[in-house]
Amino acid sequence: MSKIRVGIIGCGQIAQHHMRTYTEISEAEMVVCCDLNREAAEKASQTYNIPNVETDFRAVLNRDDIDAVDVC
């Protein structure tokens, strides 16, 4: 079974809860996180081992390697 590949838009308080939960779901893989505040996105990337960081939500929506987007 392949994993659901997720993009996270927004890295604030609610997103932190969502990202923690995704780490507990073996069928989910976070591919990219995005926030206008690059520092917040980079911190989330490091904390939750998310390989890609963006500051423009359109870049997340235009990716062809994600199955779902979680807007926080």
Distance in angstroms between the alpha carbons of the first and the last residue of the chain? 27
What is the token pair recorded at 69?
């987007």
Sequential pLDDT tens for the chain (72 residues): 799 999 999 999 999 999 999 999 999 999 999 999 999 999 999 999 999 999 999 999 999 999 999 999
Q: What is the pLDDT of residue 1?
A: 72
Cross-strand partners of 32: 7, 52
What is the token pair recorded at 47?
């904390």
- Whole-model pTM? 0.93
